[in-house]
Chain A
Amino acid sequence: MRDARGDIRRPIGLRLWLSGGWLTLLALGALFTPWIAPKDPLMQDLFLGRMPPFWVQGAEPGYLLGTDSLGRDVLSRILYGTRLALIVALVAGTLTCVIGATLGLIAGYYRGWPDRIISRFVDIWMAFPPVLFAILLIAVLGPGLISIIIAIVVIDWTRFARVIRAEAMTQGAMDYVASAQVAGRTRFGTMLTEILPNVLPTIVALLTLEMGIAVIVEAILSFVNLSISTDSPTWGGMIAEGRTSVHQAWWVLVFPLITLFLTVLSFSQLGEGLKDRFDPVLR
Protein backbone atom coordinates (compact mmCIF):
# COMPACT_ATOMS: atom_id res chain seq x y z
CA MET A 1 0.00 0.00 0.00
CA ARG A 2 1.83 3.05 -1.18
CA ASP A 3 0.53 6.44 -2.15
CA ALA A 4 2.10 9.81 -2.51
CA ARG A 5 0.41 11.48 0.40
CA GLY A 6 3.42 11.03 2.68
CA ASP A 7 5.75 12.56 0.14
CA ILE A 8 4.45 16.10 -0.14
CA ARG A 9 7.43 18.43 0.09
CA ARG A 10 7.25 21.71 1.91
CA PRO A 11 8.04 24.95 0.11
CA ILE A 12 11.46 26.19 1.18
CA GLY A 13 9.83 29.07 3.00
CA LEU A 14 11.30 32.29 1.67
CA ARG A 15 9.08 34.07 4.13
CA LEU A 16 10.65 32.26 7.05
CA TRP A 17 14.18 32.88 5.83
CA LEU A 18 13.69 36.59 5.19
CA SER A 19 11.85 37.37 8.40
CA GLY A 20 14.02 35.05 10.46
CA GLY A 21 17.14 36.52 8.86
CA TRP A 22 16.20 40.08 9.66
CA LEU A 23 15.27 39.23 13.24
CA THR A 24 18.49 37.26 13.75
CA LEU A 25 20.43 40.24 12.48
CA LEU A 26 18.59 42.46 14.94
CA ALA A 27 19.15 40.04 17.79
CA LEU A 28 22.88 39.91 17.08
CA GLY A 29 22.93 43.68 16.81
CA ALA A 30 21.16 43.96 20.15
CA LEU A 31 23.48 41.48 21.86
CA PHE A 32 26.70 43.04 20.65
CA THR A 33 25.63 46.67 20.47
CA PRO A 34 28.49 48.11 22.58
CA TRP A 35 31.06 46.42 20.34
CA ILE A 36 29.56 47.11 16.96
CA ALA A 37 27.98 50.52 17.46
CA PRO A 38 30.41 52.90 15.81
CA LYS A 39 29.76 55.80 18.22
CA ASP A 40 28.39 56.61 21.63
CA PRO A 41 24.65 57.02 20.98
CA LEU A 42 24.38 59.92 23.42
CA MET A 43 27.49 61.84 22.40
CA GLN A 44 26.54 65.19 20.97
CA ASP A 45 28.70 67.19 18.64
CA LEU A 46 27.02 70.33 17.48
CA PHE A 47 29.59 70.86 14.74
CA LEU A 48 28.50 67.57 13.19
CA GLY A 49 24.72 68.19 13.26
CA ARG A 50 22.56 66.87 10.45
CA MET A 51 25.26 65.09 8.51
CA PRO A 52 23.67 63.06 5.68
CA PRO A 53 24.16 59.26 5.20
CA PHE A 54 27.35 58.04 3.57
CA TRP A 55 26.28 58.01 -0.07
CA VAL A 56 25.06 61.60 -0.06
CA GLN A 57 27.35 64.52 -0.89
CA GLY A 58 28.80 66.12 2.24
CA ALA A 59 28.67 63.00 4.43
CA GLU A 60 31.05 62.76 7.37
CA PRO A 61 33.21 59.59 7.36
CA GLY A 62 32.36 57.27 10.24
CA TYR A 63 28.72 58.33 10.41
CA LEU A 64 27.20 55.73 8.07
CA LEU A 65 23.59 56.74 8.37
CA GLY A 66 24.24 60.40 9.15
CA THR A 67 23.65 62.35 12.35
CA ASP A 68 20.69 64.09 13.95
CA SER A 69 20.42 67.78 14.77
CA LEU A 70 22.54 67.33 17.90
CA GLY A 71 25.25 65.50 15.98
CA ARG A 72 24.49 62.04 17.40
CA ASP A 73 25.17 59.03 15.19
CA VAL A 74 21.88 57.67 13.77
CA LEU A 75 23.17 54.12 13.23
CA SER A 76 24.44 53.83 16.81
CA ARG A 77 21.17 55.16 18.16
CA ILE A 78 19.16 52.66 16.09
CA LEU A 79 21.37 49.86 17.39
CA TYR A 80 20.91 50.88 20.99
CA GLY A 81 17.17 51.24 20.38
CA THR A 82 17.09 47.68 19.06
CA ARG A 83 17.91 46.37 22.50
CA LEU A 84 14.93 48.01 24.08
CA ALA A 85 12.63 47.13 21.21
CA LEU A 86 13.58 43.45 21.34
CA ILE A 87 13.42 43.23 25.12
CA VAL A 88 9.94 44.70 25.03
CA ALA A 89 8.93 42.41 22.17
CA LEU A 90 10.22 39.24 23.81
CA VAL A 91 9.22 39.86 27.39
CA ALA A 92 5.88 41.55 26.79
CA GLY A 93 5.01 39.18 23.93
CA THR A 94 5.81 36.07 25.94
CA LEU A 95 4.05 37.21 29.10
CA THR A 96 0.97 38.27 27.18
CA CYS A 97 0.95 34.97 25.38
CA VAL A 98 1.39 32.79 28.45
CA ILE A 99 -1.27 34.59 30.49
CA GLY A 100 -3.81 35.02 27.68
CA ALA A 101 -3.36 31.60 26.11
CA THR A 102 -3.57 29.78 29.43
CA LEU A 103 -6.80 31.51 30.37
CA GLY A 104 -8.21 31.02 26.88
CA LEU A 105 -7.32 27.34 26.89
CA ILE A 106 -8.95 26.77 30.27
CA ALA A 107 -12.08 28.72 29.36
CA GLY A 108 -12.47 27.06 25.97
CA TYR A 109 -11.76 23.52 27.05
CA TYR A 110 -13.24 23.32 30.55
CA ARG A 111 -16.26 25.54 29.75
CA GLY A 112 -18.68 25.84 32.68
CA TRP A 113 -17.89 28.27 35.46
CA PRO A 114 -14.21 28.84 34.58
CA ASP A 115 -15.38 29.93 31.15
CA ARG A 116 -18.08 32.18 32.56
CA ILE A 117 -15.65 33.95 34.87
CA ILE A 118 -12.88 34.36 32.32
CA SER A 119 -15.18 35.43 29.49
CA ARG A 120 -16.97 37.98 31.63
CA PHE A 121 -13.60 39.36 32.67
CA VAL A 122 -12.44 39.62 29.06
CA ASP A 123 -15.65 41.41 28.05
CA ILE A 124 -15.30 43.99 30.78
CA TRP A 125 -11.60 44.40 30.07
CA MET A 126 -12.19 45.05 26.41
CA ALA A 127 -14.62 47.83 27.15
CA PHE A 128 -11.63 50.07 28.00
CA PRO A 129 -10.18 51.91 25.00
CA PRO A 130 -6.67 50.40 24.77
CA VAL A 131 -4.56 53.46 23.99
CA LEU A 132 -6.15 55.50 26.73
CA PHE A 133 -5.78 52.57 29.05
CA ALA A 134 -2.06 52.31 28.25
CA ILE A 135 -1.42 56.00 28.75
CA LEU A 136 -3.36 55.98 31.99
CA LEU A 137 -1.44 52.95 33.24
CA ILE A 138 1.92 54.48 32.47
CA ALA A 139 0.86 57.74 34.06
CA VAL A 140 0.13 55.76 37.22
CA LEU A 141 3.13 53.41 37.09
CA GLY A 142 5.56 56.05 35.91
CA PRO A 143 7.52 55.72 32.66
CA GLY A 144 10.12 52.99 32.31
CA LEU A 145 10.74 49.64 30.69
CA ILE A 146 8.81 47.64 33.27
CA SER A 147 5.79 49.92 33.00
CA ILE A 148 5.68 49.53 29.25
CA ILE A 149 5.83 45.78 29.51
CA ILE A 150 3.11 45.73 32.15
CA ALA A 151 0.95 48.04 30.06
CA ILE A 152 1.24 45.81 27.00
CA VAL A 153 0.49 42.64 28.94
CA VAL A 154 -2.43 44.16 30.79
CA ILE A 155 -4.01 45.42 27.60
CA ASP A 156 -3.32 42.65 25.14
CA TRP A 157 -3.81 39.39 27.04
CA THR A 158 -7.48 39.52 26.04
CA ARG A 159 -6.55 39.05 22.39
CA PHE A 160 -4.96 35.70 23.21
CA ALA A 161 -7.68 34.71 25.62
CA ARG A 162 -10.44 35.31 23.09
CA VAL A 163 -8.83 33.65 20.08
CA ILE A 164 -7.44 30.66 21.98
CA ARG A 165 -10.73 30.14 23.79
CA ALA A 166 -12.59 29.89 20.49
CA GLU A 167 -9.96 27.58 19.07
CA ALA A 168 -9.92 25.34 22.15
CA MET A 169 -13.70 25.14 22.01
CA THR A 170 -13.62 23.96 18.41
CA GLN A 171 -10.94 21.40 19.15
CA GLY A 172 -12.68 20.27 22.34
CA ALA A 173 -15.73 19.23 20.33
CA MET A 174 -13.68 16.93 18.10
CA ASP A 175 -13.93 13.17 18.42
CA TYR A 176 -10.24 12.75 19.11
CA VAL A 177 -10.82 14.50 22.42
CA ALA A 178 -13.68 12.12 23.24
CA SER A 179 -11.31 9.36 22.24
CA ALA A 180 -8.78 10.53 24.83
CA GLN A 181 -11.54 10.33 27.43
CA VAL A 182 -12.44 6.83 26.25
CA ALA A 183 -8.81 5.89 26.73
CA GLY A 184 -8.99 7.23 30.28
CA ARG A 185 -6.84 10.33 29.97
CA THR A 186 -7.52 12.99 32.61
CA ARG A 187 -9.13 16.29 31.67
CA PHE A 188 -5.93 18.15 32.36
CA GLY A 189 -3.82 15.59 30.53
CA THR A 190 -6.13 15.81 27.52
CA MET A 191 -5.80 19.57 27.51
CA LEU A 192 -2.02 19.32 27.41
CA THR A 193 -1.53 16.39 25.06
CA GLU A 194 -4.48 16.71 22.69
CA ILE A 195 -5.76 20.29 22.69
CA LEU A 196 -2.55 22.24 23.18
CA PRO A 197 -0.67 20.77 20.19
CA ASN A 198 -3.63 21.69 18.03
CA VAL A 199 -3.90 25.28 19.18
CA LEU A 200 -0.13 25.74 19.24
CA PRO A 201 0.10 26.95 15.63
CA THR A 202 -2.44 29.65 16.46
CA ILE A 203 -0.58 30.52 19.65
CA VAL A 204 2.70 30.88 17.77
CA ALA A 205 1.09 33.02 15.08
CA LEU A 206 -0.46 35.26 17.73
CA LEU A 207 2.77 35.39 19.70
CA THR A 208 4.84 36.68 16.81
CA LEU A 209 2.08 39.11 15.92
CA GLU A 210 2.05 40.29 19.52
CA MET A 211 5.81 40.82 19.45
CA GLY A 212 5.34 43.11 16.46
CA ILE A 213 2.53 44.91 18.25
CA ALA A 214 4.71 45.31 21.35
CA VAL A 215 7.37 47.00 19.22
CA ILE A 216 4.77 49.37 17.80
CA VAL A 217 3.27 50.13 21.19
CA GLU A 218 6.69 50.90 22.61
CA ALA A 219 7.33 53.19 19.65
CA ILE A 220 4.00 54.94 20.07
CA LEU A 221 4.61 55.49 23.76
CA SER A 222 8.09 56.85 23.05
CA PHE A 223 6.53 59.05 20.44
CA VAL A 224 4.26 60.63 23.01
CA ASN A 225 7.20 60.69 25.40
CA LEU A 226 5.79 58.15 27.80
CA SER A 227 8.33 55.45 27.27
CA ILE A 228 11.75 54.85 28.78
CA SER A 229 13.74 57.84 30.04
CA THR A 230 14.58 60.27 27.29
CA ASP A 231 18.34 59.69 27.19
CA SER A 232 18.35 56.05 26.14
CA PRO A 233 17.57 56.05 22.45
CA THR A 234 14.39 54.34 21.31
CA TRP A 235 13.04 53.94 17.80
CA GLY A 236 9.87 55.76 18.70
CA GLY A 237 11.82 58.57 20.32
CA MET A 238 13.99 58.89 17.22
CA ILE A 239 10.96 58.98 14.95
CA ALA A 240 9.43 61.67 17.12
CA GLU A 241 12.60 63.77 16.98
CA GLY A 242 13.18 63.13 13.31
CA ARG A 243 9.68 64.26 12.43
CA THR A 244 10.45 67.83 13.49
CA SER A 245 13.36 68.15 11.06
CA VAL A 246 12.19 65.91 8.26
CA HIS A 247 12.73 68.64 5.63
CA GLN A 248 16.31 69.35 6.61
CA ALA A 249 17.40 65.84 7.59
CA TRP A 250 15.04 63.12 6.35
CA TRP A 251 17.44 60.34 7.41
CA VAL A 252 16.86 60.98 11.08
CA LEU A 253 13.22 60.00 10.57
CA VAL A 254 13.45 57.48 7.73
CA PHE A 255 16.06 55.00 9.04
CA PRO A 256 14.40 54.26 12.38
CA LEU A 257 11.07 54.13 10.57
CA ILE A 258 12.34 51.55 8.07
CA THR A 259 13.87 49.51 10.89
CA LEU A 260 10.61 49.58 12.80
CA PHE A 261 8.62 48.65 9.71
CA LEU A 262 10.86 45.74 8.76
CA THR A 263 10.84 44.45 12.31
CA VAL A 264 7.09 44.51 12.71
CA LEU A 265 6.65 42.96 9.28
CA SER A 266 9.21 40.25 10.08
CA PHE A 267 7.49 39.35 13.32
CA SER A 268 4.15 38.94 11.62
CA GLN A 269 5.67 36.94 8.76
CA LEU A 270 7.69 34.78 11.12
CA GLY A 271 4.52 33.26 12.56
CA GLU A 272 3.17 32.37 9.14
CA GLY A 273 6.55 31.11 8.03
CA LEU A 274 6.97 28.87 11.06
CA LYS A 275 3.53 27.45 10.45
CA ASP A 276 4.26 26.71 6.78
CA ARG A 277 7.46 25.02 7.74
CA PHE A 278 6.67 23.09 10.87
CA ASP A 279 2.94 22.50 11.18
CA PRO A 280 2.30 18.95 9.94
CA VAL A 281 -1.24 19.80 8.94
CA LEU A 282 -1.30 21.62 5.63
CA ARG A 283 -4.11 24.05 5.28
Chain B
Amino acid sequence: MMYQVRDLRLSFPDLTRKPLLGAAPRTPVLKGISFDLPKGAVLGIVGGSGSGKSTLGRAMLRLLEPDSGTIAFDGTDITHQTEDQLRGMRQRFQMIFQDPMSSLNPRRRVGGIIAGPLKLYGFDGLTARVNEALDMVGLPRSFARRFPHELSGGQRQRVGIARAIALRPDFILADEIVSGLDVSSQAQVLNLLGKLVGELGLTLGFISHDLSVIRRLCDRVLVLHHGEVVEQGDTDALFAAPQAAYTRELLASIPLPDPDQPWD
Protein backbone atom coordinates (compact mmCIF):
# COMPACT_ATOMS: atom_id res chain seq x y z
CA MET B 1 0.00 0.00 0.00
CA MET B 2 1.22 3.48 -0.86
CA TYR B 3 -1.04 5.11 1.69
CA GLN B 4 -3.05 3.72 4.56
CA VAL B 5 -5.10 6.41 6.23
CA ARG B 6 -7.08 5.59 9.36
CA ASP B 7 -9.59 7.74 11.22
CA LEU B 8 -7.76 10.90 10.25
CA ARG B 9 -8.89 14.01 12.10
CA LEU B 10 -7.67 17.54 11.63
CA SER B 11 -8.93 20.90 12.85
CA PHE B 12 -7.95 24.53 12.41
CA PRO B 13 -8.04 27.18 15.10
CA ASP B 14 -10.83 29.66 14.40
CA LEU B 15 -9.09 32.95 15.06
CA THR B 16 -12.22 35.02 14.50
CA ARG B 17 -13.71 33.50 17.64
CA LYS B 18 -10.53 33.61 19.72
CA PRO B 19 -11.24 34.88 23.21
CA LEU B 20 -9.00 37.65 24.52
CA LEU B 21 -7.20 35.18 26.75
CA GLY B 22 -6.68 31.54 25.95
CA ALA B 23 -6.69 29.46 22.84
CA ALA B 24 -9.01 29.88 19.87
CA PRO B 25 -11.73 27.25 19.48
CA ARG B 26 -10.92 24.71 16.78
CA THR B 27 -13.07 23.95 13.76
CA PRO B 28 -12.88 20.32 12.66
CA VAL B 29 -12.20 20.02 8.95
CA LEU B 30 -11.38 16.33 8.56
CA LYS B 31 -13.65 14.17 10.68
CA GLY B 32 -12.29 10.65 10.70
CA ILE B 33 -11.16 9.73 7.22
CA SER B 34 -10.02 6.20 6.35
CA PHE B 35 -8.95 4.76 3.02
CA ASP B 36 -6.26 2.68 1.35
CA LEU B 37 -4.37 3.70 -1.73
CA PRO B 38 -2.62 0.76 -3.43
CA LYS B 39 0.65 1.32 -5.26
CA GLY B 40 0.21 2.35 -8.87
CA ALA B 41 -3.41 3.37 -8.42
CA VAL B 42 -4.92 6.71 -9.33
CA LEU B 43 -7.21 7.98 -6.61
CA GLY B 44 -9.68 10.73 -7.37
CA ILE B 45 -10.75 12.91 -4.45
CA VAL B 46 -13.99 14.77 -5.14
CA GLY B 47 -16.26 16.93 -3.07
CA GLY B 48 -17.75 20.39 -2.89
CA SER B 49 -15.82 23.52 -2.11
CA GLY B 50 -14.69 23.51 1.50
CA SER B 51 -15.23 19.79 1.91
CA GLY B 52 -11.61 19.34 2.98
CA LYS B 53 -10.01 17.96 -0.19
CA SER B 54 -6.96 20.20 -0.09
CA THR B 55 -6.64 19.76 3.65
CA LEU B 56 -6.63 15.98 3.23
CA GLY B 57 -4.05 16.26 0.46
CA ARG B 58 -1.83 18.52 2.49
CA ALA B 59 -2.08 16.21 5.47
CA MET B 60 -1.05 13.26 3.27
CA LEU B 61 2.05 15.22 2.27
CA ARG B 62 2.52 16.28 5.88
CA LEU B 63 2.31 19.96 5.11
CA LEU B 64 -0.23 19.83 7.93
CA GLU B 65 -0.08 17.76 11.09
CA PRO B 66 -3.24 15.79 11.89
CA ASP B 67 -4.82 15.93 15.35
CA SER B 68 -5.31 12.18 15.51
CA GLY B 69 -5.56 9.07 13.42
CA THR B 70 -2.73 7.64 11.33
CA ILE B 71 -1.22 8.17 7.93
CA ALA B 72 1.12 5.44 6.81
CA PHE B 73 3.17 6.03 3.69
CA ASP B 74 4.57 2.82 2.21
CA GLY B 75 4.41 1.21 5.62
CA THR B 76 5.96 4.10 7.57
CA ASP B 77 3.79 5.99 10.03
CA ILE B 78 4.30 9.66 9.14
CA THR B 79 1.38 11.08 11.11
CA HIS B 80 3.38 12.97 13.68
CA GLN B 81 6.91 12.87 12.30
CA THR B 82 8.87 16.06 12.63
CA GLU B 83 10.19 17.95 9.66
CA ASP B 84 13.68 16.58 10.39
CA GLN B 85 12.42 13.01 10.43
CA LEU B 86 10.50 13.55 7.21
CA ARG B 87 13.33 15.22 5.36
CA GLY B 88 14.85 12.06 3.95
CA MET B 89 11.44 10.86 2.76
CA ARG B 90 10.02 13.98 1.25
CA GLN B 91 11.52 13.23 -2.13
CA ARG B 92 9.12 10.27 -2.37
CA PHE B 93 5.87 12.23 -2.20
CA GLN B 94 5.50 15.29 -4.33
CA MET B 95 2.79 17.74 -5.22
CA ILE B 96 1.53 19.71 -8.18
CA PHE B 97 -0.27 22.88 -7.19
CA GLN B 98 -3.47 24.49 -8.31
CA ASP B 99 -2.33 27.99 -9.14
CA PRO B 100 0.24 27.85 -11.92
CA MET B 101 1.40 31.40 -11.16
CA SER B 102 2.06 31.33 -7.45
CA SER B 103 3.44 27.80 -7.34
CA LEU B 104 6.58 28.80 -9.25
CA ASN B 105 9.04 31.21 -7.67
CA PRO B 106 8.70 34.27 -9.92
CA ARG B 107 12.34 35.24 -9.55
CA ARG B 108 13.88 31.93 -10.51
CA ARG B 109 14.39 30.55 -13.94
CA VAL B 110 12.56 27.38 -14.92
CA GLY B 111 15.83 25.44 -14.90
CA GLY B 112 16.52 26.54 -11.33
CA ILE B 113 12.98 25.74 -10.25
CA ILE B 114 13.32 22.17 -11.48
CA ALA B 115 16.92 21.73 -10.31
CA GLY B 116 16.39 23.22 -6.82
CA PRO B 117 14.76 20.13 -5.25
CA LEU B 118 17.20 17.84 -7.08
CA LYS B 119 20.15 19.58 -5.45
CA LEU B 120 18.67 18.95 -2.01
CA TYR B 121 18.86 15.21 -2.59
CA GLY B 122 22.32 15.24 -4.13
CA PHE B 123 21.27 14.18 -7.63
CA ASP B 124 24.11 14.50 -10.11
CA GLY B 125 24.00 15.64 -13.72
CA LEU B 126 21.51 18.39 -12.97
CA THR B 127 21.40 19.86 -16.47
CA ALA B 128 20.72 16.49 -18.03
CA ARG B 129 17.98 15.82 -15.49
CA VAL B 130 16.37 19.19 -16.05
CA ASN B 131 16.45 18.62 -19.80
CA GLU B 132 14.98 15.17 -19.40
CA ALA B 133 12.17 16.51 -17.21
CA LEU B 134 11.42 19.23 -19.76
CA ASP B 135 11.36 16.62 -22.52
CA MET B 136 8.96 14.47 -20.55
CA VAL B 137 6.46 17.29 -20.09
CA GLY B 138 6.83 18.38 -23.70
CA LEU B 139 8.52 21.73 -23.20
CA PRO B 140 11.50 22.86 -25.28
CA ARG B 141 14.80 22.69 -23.40
CA SER B 142 15.40 26.37 -24.06
CA PHE B 143 12.61 27.09 -21.56
CA ALA B 144 15.06 26.33 -18.76
CA ARG B 145 16.33 29.90 -19.21
CA ARG B 146 12.92 31.49 -18.90
CA PHE B 147 11.20 33.04 -15.93
CA PRO B 148 7.70 31.82 -15.00
CA HIS B 149 6.04 35.02 -16.17
CA GLU B 150 7.39 34.33 -19.63
CA LEU B 151 5.25 31.18 -19.88
CA SER B 152 1.56 30.57 -20.46
CA GLY B 153 -0.59 28.99 -17.78
CA GLY B 154 -0.46 25.58 -19.40
CA GLN B 155 3.31 25.78 -19.82
CA ARG B 156 3.73 26.81 -16.18
CA GLN B 157 1.67 23.86 -15.08
CA ARG B 158 3.96 21.62 -17.13
CA VAL B 159 6.91 23.10 -15.27
CA GLY B 160 5.12 22.23 -12.02
CA ILE B 161 4.76 18.66 -13.25
CA ALA B 162 8.40 18.56 -14.37
CA ARG B 163 9.54 19.75 -10.93
CA ALA B 164 7.57 16.97 -9.26
CA ILE B 165 8.57 14.10 -11.55
CA ALA B 166 12.24 15.11 -11.75
CA LEU B 167 12.62 13.86 -8.17
CA ARG B 168 11.42 10.41 -9.23
CA PRO B 169 8.79 10.24 -6.50
CA ASP B 170 6.53 7.28 -5.76
CA PHE B 171 3.46 9.39 -5.15
CA ILE B 172 2.22 12.67 -6.58
CA LEU B 173 -0.67 14.72 -5.35
CA ALA B 174 -2.33 16.93 -7.95
CA ASP B 175 -4.60 19.49 -6.33
CA GLU B 176 -7.03 20.97 -8.88
CA ILE B 177 -4.17 21.37 -11.30
CA VAL B 178 -6.26 22.33 -14.29
CA SER B 179 -8.90 24.55 -12.76
CA GLY B 180 -6.90 27.69 -13.62
CA LEU B 181 -6.46 26.74 -17.28
CA ASP B 182 -8.52 27.16 -20.42
CA VAL B 183 -10.27 24.12 -21.81
CA SER B 184 -7.72 23.12 -24.43
CA SER B 185 -4.74 23.43 -22.06
CA GLN B 186 -6.75 21.47 -19.50
CA ALA B 187 -7.06 18.55 -21.86
CA GLN B 188 -3.39 18.68 -22.80
CA VAL B 189 -2.17 18.83 -19.22
CA LEU B 190 -4.46 15.98 -18.18
CA ASN B 191 -3.37 13.83 -21.10
CA LEU B 192 0.22 14.49 -20.17
CA LEU B 193 -0.37 13.60 -16.54
CA GLY B 194 -2.16 10.39 -17.48
CA LYS B 195 0.68 9.42 -19.81
CA LEU B 196 3.38 10.12 -17.20
CA VAL B 197 1.59 8.20 -14.49
CA GLY B 198 1.57 5.18 -16.77
CA GLU B 199 5.16 5.56 -17.95
CA LEU B 200 6.68 6.19 -14.54
CA GLY B 201 4.45 3.83 -12.59
CA LEU B 202 3.39 6.63 -10.27
CA THR B 203 0.71 6.49 -7.65
CA LEU B 204 -1.46 9.57 -8.04
CA GLY B 205 -3.84 11.47 -5.81
CA PHE B 206 -6.01 13.62 -8.00
CA ILE B 207 -8.15 16.29 -6.37
CA SER B 208 -10.86 17.74 -8.52
CA HIS B 209 -14.48 18.75 -8.50
CA ASP B 210 -14.81 17.83 -12.16
CA LEU B 211 -16.35 14.36 -12.22
CA SER B 212 -15.87 13.85 -15.93
CA VAL B 213 -12.12 14.29 -15.49
CA ILE B 214 -12.08 11.96 -12.49
CA ARG B 215 -13.92 9.35 -14.49
CA ARG B 216 -11.32 9.36 -17.26
CA LEU B 217 -8.22 9.47 -15.12
CA CYS B 218 -8.89 7.65 -11.87
CA ASP B 219 -9.16 4.00 -10.86
CA ARG B 220 -10.66 4.77 -7.49
CA VAL B 221 -12.72 7.63 -6.13
CA LEU B 222 -13.13 9.09 -2.67
CA VAL B 223 -16.12 11.35 -2.21
CA LEU B 224 -15.76 13.91 0.57
CA HIS B 225 -18.55 15.91 2.09
CA HIS B 226 -18.06 18.21 5.07
CA GLY B 227 -14.83 16.46 5.99
CA GLU B 228 -16.20 12.95 5.89
CA VAL B 229 -15.91 10.19 3.33
CA VAL B 230 -19.44 9.60 2.12
CA GLU B 231 -18.48 7.02 -0.45
CA GLN B 232 -15.43 5.33 -1.93
CA GLY B 233 -14.82 2.62 -4.45
CA ASP B 234 -13.77 1.75 -7.96
CA THR B 235 -14.55 4.46 -10.45
CA ASP B 236 -16.68 2.35 -12.75
CA ALA B 237 -18.74 0.89 -9.93
CA LEU B 238 -19.21 4.26 -8.30
CA PHE B 239 -20.33 5.96 -11.49
CA ALA B 240 -22.56 3.07 -12.47
CA ALA B 241 -24.28 2.73 -9.12
CA PRO B 242 -23.58 5.55 -6.67
CA GLN B 243 -24.61 4.52 -3.18
CA ALA B 244 -24.61 7.71 -1.14
CA ALA B 245 -27.24 10.35 -1.71
CA TYR B 246 -24.59 13.04 -1.87
CA THR B 247 -22.75 11.21 -4.67
CA ARG B 248 -25.94 10.90 -6.66
CA GLU B 249 -26.56 14.60 -6.19
CA LEU B 250 -23.03 15.35 -7.33
CA LEU B 251 -23.40 13.14 -10.40
CA ALA B 252 -26.73 14.64 -11.29
CA SER B 253 -25.48 18.21 -11.01
CA ILE B 254 -22.61 17.74 -13.46
CA PRO B 255 -23.32 17.11 -17.13
CA LEU B 256 -21.15 14.17 -18.17
CA PRO B 257 -19.85 14.15 -21.70
CA ASP B 258 -19.57 10.91 -23.56
CA PRO B 259 -16.63 9.11 -21.96
CA ASP B 260 -15.60 7.46 -25.23
CA GLN B 261 -15.01 10.72 -26.99
CA PRO B 262 -11.29 11.65 -27.16
CA TRP B 263 -10.15 14.69 -25.23
CA ASP B 264 -8.65 16.92 -27.83
Contacts and interface: CB of A to CB of B under 8 A. Distances in A.
Contacts of A18: none
A176 interface: yes
B62 to A, nearest CB: 9
A182 B116 contact: no
B200 to A, nearest CB: 17
B107 A197 contact: yes
8 contacts: A175-B99, A182-B61, A182-B63, A184-B86, A198-B107, A200-B107, A280-B107, A282-B149
Interface in B48-72: 61, 63
B116 A183 contact: yes
A15 interface: no
Nearest to A279: B107
Q: Which 8 A-B pairs have the closest CB atoms?
A: A184-B90, A183-B117, A175-B103, A5-B150, A175-B97, A176-B105, A174-B102, A197-B107
A208 B160 CA distance: 36
Contacts of B93: 182
Given A181-B63, A183-B120, A184-B91, A176 B140 contact: no
A178 interface: yes
A184 B107 contact: no
Interface in A165-180: 174-176, 178-180
Contacts, number: 81
B163 interface: yes
Nearest to A201: B107
A283 B41 CA distance: 43
Interface in B95-153: 95, 97-99, 102-108, 116-117, 120-121, 139-140, 145-147, 149-152
A1 interface: yes
A37 B172 CA distance: 69
Interface of A: 1, 3, 5-6, 8, 174-176, 178-187, 193-194, 197-198, 200, 279-282
Interface of B: 61, 63, 83, 86-88, 90-91, 93-95, 97-99, 102-108, 116-117, 120-121, 139-140, 145-147, 149-152, 155, 163, 167
B104 A6 contact: no
Q: Give the secondary structure class of B's interface.
A: loop
Given A5-B151, A6-B150, A175-B98, A184 B87 contact: yes
Contacts of B102: 174-176
A8 B150 CA distance: 9
A196 to B, nearest CB: 10
A197 B113 CA distance: 13
Contact of B103 (A3, A179, A187, A200): A179
A184 B99 contact: no
Nearest to B163: A179
A176 B121 CA distance: 18
Given A175-B98, A280-B107, A6 B116 contact: no
B120 A184 contact: yes
Contact of A1 (B87, B90, B94, B139): B139
A281 B105 contact: no
